[in-house]
Structure 1
């Protein structure tokens, strides 16, 4: 909401006029302070998580270039046919192109491959399809490209999986024209009501924001008819909020934003696990964490341990392992108990300590 000001104007001479003017001046000053304070208070008005691309738990680059994969936390690439290289980029300290002093932006280098069904999309899935049913929302973001290019923006309603869900409700795309300089774009969308739409039973329904960077002919309606193109597309400070007006970007404290990200994805390092030896080749590990959105899928990130570099202590001996793998993990939204195979020379029943507490051991994925 735009701040309104008291119009002091010209006051008449005399004591009453002077007194009234002083009172209104004080009221105006107080309102200025209140308005300034309100703008600096995190409001959680941004329905996106990690809209400023500050958090990259999976790494800053090296993601799959085709298919479907998460990159920056909560941001997913959908690239059937064409290819995309995603990386984290850093703003120069003190830059003045974009307000709020952002630290990072996302870079998407697209190589288009001709085909009506080929495309490159950067998307975020907002949990709970009910949340925006029938609402008018405003999407705002900053973007630029390596040349004059268009990108499309759309919103889809996804009923999720499980049971007999209805079909995805695909929104019409709006195209915007990018240049080589940063520009802010503001777009309005009105989402249809989900009345009568069958919602899945798995709890993974959502509304998705889509940035169309390359779109074959079959996606004209959804992409704003941007067509197929190769190029480099930079995006920063993305916000989705209810209502028809764009407000300033919602800068939430870093700890809050990380907590929101870890509802969907979490990296467990060595300090988050305890263990005991089960056999000469197997260790049973256990760990706990704050509740995630759903029971996550688990990937073992570290598959070898070196006794020579003191990574793993079993009893009183430093031990090693190679080609380690999870075996029958028991996982909930809050914990894991899993055997890990691939060790040698262990003595059963000994406590295990991962000495390299900073090493990334597990990737927990509860994304939508």
Structure 2
């Protein structure tokens, strides 16, 4: 693969100029890129914002590069041009990354325009531009408009040298000179080597390659002559240099040494056979065994010689206080545990000594002369035991007939236990249970609807679409329609709605002859779906105008990756969805579905609800309408509650926003400024709400412009977008969208 000269460039997308990648300042004129006539080269372009952070590009973006010395547009060839086929060619630049704003552009400077406009000049100042086409928009945006230098080269065409001693030779001249030299050695012996003599002529050397010795070693540097002693010394392992243990950091086998650190032995070291003589010499096993002393009580020299016949005795020091001996426990006058105090001399005296008084000799009872059991207090005055008193004390049935007035309480007639609070009275007080029942009922009526635009109030893309076919397409905000086959006659806003006054519009599908099934779906992003690990209920009202009853199907699925619905797996009904209630012809029917979806695989990645009208129900002349679509947490469908229009619009604009196109006599978007020649101007617009993700921006229609081309558009965040133009000359510059509704901007972050 050819390797071309690479030129690294850093482009500030906000200014459309080349900048220094180190600090973001515009590059000085002496550092402008230079392009040479006849060369092929690669531009390695990094797009950044004003903070030098990478500005990501879309994988679907197309690019083109133009190079010229003037701004003429009629019958004037460019000096160089690269279309999208020259962008990001494999091998041109290893750092290519659209996500990081990096692309490569291959440029060919061997063109007629380059030659004509350089002429014989050494160099000519020129301009080069990089344009970007966003998918779905035929108008490009100018990403770079900057000066550069185009340079001539010394010589490119064949021709004879200008003198007998030229500075260069042409290919023809070189071939001729070589032919002349080769002819002079045509009679040389075959396989002999050729050499140049001092006159520059090629001669036969008279020698073949085989006549020369083959080198067996590297001849660079200084070499010693071959010497057997050197080789023997090098291979010796007998310590030819008399290295000592100290030099090698080893412990010597003889002599005195101090060894620091902890040394761990894998086996026990063997010590000398003699006994240690000083305090800190190591003691071996033999020395310890010989001097360990007595190992048992009988080993002591001052104890009895045996235990035989000494059971029940205790050891005591003998009368001479020279040894131990066994002795019998004396019995006379001593208290033994086995006698349980029966061996005291006087029990009465013992009680007196212990301070027990005479209570220790009296019985427990209630008669005089007995000791009380101690089961009640004996102070104060006591009533004789009476069962009626105890019964009265324990009674909780108002034995004294206390009235409500006596305890300052309201009569029970004032308490309202009706959970509907229908009495609406100023003289009754609702019980706690009644209040809870009433509040719970009201909360159910206003349960949060997790479907956006379920009342079909918002239609930013238009209120009638006649092109809905097998490709998924949004019409009413947040609802996408797809046919199994064929194209619907209309997908439109209808004012035919269910009774009850809660809806102004419904979604109306008008069939056609070749239409089969029709799917209506809404996708819920991961951040909301992850909170739905519970029992949920879907409900809606369906009008059947097909001429016969049909049964719709609900398919509930999850995507394979977070917020990426390119692949969706249906989770309910064993993967086939579930039938809803049958819809009678020429009537509105309320359908509902309840399920615990907490175990759905990939629920945290998002959720898709798809309502399918069966095949045969939307053929030519058939009409089906959908209204009051709702998804809520809970085991039953609660009353549908519309949102305020401003709140519903804001929720829709998180996914899709249309700016302009209102078909009024004034411009929705009008940007005007004064610009210098070839200057770039960028206008930043703030979105009405923060979008779900960085949107895809599209400029629709042909706009009115002055002193510039059609504006380009690009997005770098979720809150703003930019439009840019480049002035064709110094002066007033403006662009504005048409007033007939055909020109506007869309921001798309749908799932």
Tell me the TM-score normalised to structure 1 length.
0.70
Which residue of the partner structure matches residue 131 of structure 1?
A: 530
Alignment of 1:73-84 (within 5 A): 73-84=477-488
Aligned pair partner of 1:336 in 705, 721, 733: 721
Q: Pick closer, same or farther for the CA change 1:233–1:109 going to 2, 3 Å.
A: same
Q: Pick closer, same or farther for the CA change 1:235–1:41 going to 2, 3 Å.
A: closer
Following TM superposition, by how much is the alpha carbon of 1:350 offset from its aligned partner in structure 2, in angstroms? 4.1
If each structure's strand is expressed as a fraction of its own residues, which one has the higher value? 1
Q: After TM superposition, which residue ranges in structure 1, 4 or more long, deviate above 6 angstroms?
A: 14-18, 161-166, 277-283, 355-358
Which residue of the partner structure matches residue 579 of structure 2?
A: 174
CA distance in 1 between counterparts of 2:566 and 2:543 reads: 38
CA distance in 1 between counterparts of 2:657 and 2:691 reads: 9
Which residue of the partner structure matches residue 642 of structure 2?
A: 251
Alignment of 1:344-363 (within 5 A): 347-348=729-730, 350=732, 352=734, 354=736, 361-363=744-746
CA distance in 1 between counterparts of 2:491 and 2:563 reads: 31
Residues 266 and 364 in structure 1, CA contact (< 8 A), matched pair in contact too: yes
CA distance in 2 between counterparts of 1:253 and 1:271 reads: 25
Alignment of 1:3-22 (within 5 A): 19-22=411-414
Following TM superposition, by how much is the alpha carbon of 1:177 offset from its aligned partner in structure 2, in angstroms? 1.9
Structure number with greater CO (CA < 8 Å, separation at least 6) is 1
SS of structure 1 residue aligned to 2:647: helix
Aligned pair partner of 2:539 in 140, 153, 166: 140
SS of structure 1 residue aligned to 2:449: coil
Which residue of the partner structure matches residue 219 of structure 1?
A: none
Which residue of the partner structure matches residue 52 of structure 1?
A: 455
Residue ranges of structure 2 left out of the alignment (5+ in a row): 1-402, 417-422, 661-666
Residues 107 and 233 in structure 1, CA contact (< 8 A), matched pair in contact too: yes
Residue ranges of structure 1 left out of the alignment (5+ in a row): 1-13, 200-204, 216-226, 306-311, 313-318
Tell me the TM-score normalised to structure 2 length.
0.36
Q: Pick closer, same or farther for the CA change 1:296–1:112 going to 2, 3 Å.
A: farther
SS of structure 2 residue aligned to 1:260: helix
CA distance in 2 between counterparts of 1:243 and 1:36 reads: 13
Following TM superposition, by how much is the alpha carbon of 1:161 offset from its aligned partner in structure 2, in angstroms? 6.5
Q: Pick closer, same or farther for the CA change 1:111–1:191 going to 2, 3 Å.
A: farther
Following TM superposition, by how much is the alpha carbon of 1:333 offset from its aligned partner in structure 2, in angstroms? 1.4
Following TM superposition, by how much is the alpha carbon of 1:358 offset from its aligned partner in structure 2, in angstroms? 9.8
Q: Deviations over 1:180-227 (max 9, x none)?
A: 1112222213326245x498xxxxx42111111245xxxxxxxxxxx7
Residues 703 and 737 in structure 2, CA contact (< 8 A), matched pair in contact too: no
Which residue of the partner structure matches residue 88 of structure 1?
A: 493
Q: How many matched pairs?
A: 313
Aligned pair partner of 1:184 in 590, 594, 617: 590
Which residue of the partner structure matches residue 155 of structure 1?
A: 556
Following TM superposition, by how much is the alpha carbon of 1:35 offset from its aligned partner in structure 2, in angstroms? 4.1
CA distance in 2 between counterparts of 1:295 and 1:42 reads: 33
SS of structure 1 residue aligned to 2:692: coil
CA RMSD of aligned residues (A): 4.2
Q: Deviations over 1:120-146 (max 9, x none)?
A: 211111111742664321111111111
Q: Pick closer, same or farther for the CA change 1:355–1:365 going to 2, 3 Å.
A: closer
Which residue of the partner structure matches residue 119 of structure 1?
A: 517
Residues 534 and 596 in structure 2, CA contact (< 8 A), matched pair in contact too: yes
Following TM superposition, by how much is the alpha carbon of 1:346 offset from its aligned partner in structure 2, in angstroms? 6.5
Q: Pick closer, same or farther for the CA change 1:352–1:22 going to 2, 3 Å.
A: farther
Which residue of the partner structure matches residue 308 of structure 1?
A: none
CA distance in 1 between counterparts of 2:500 and 2:564 reads: 46
Residues 555 and 610 in structure 2, CA contact (< 8 A), matched pair in contact too: yes
Residues 276 and 351 in structure 1, CA contact (< 8 A), matched pair in contact too: yes
Following TM superposition, by how much is the alpha carbon of 1:287 offset from its aligned partner in structure 2, in angstroms? 0.9
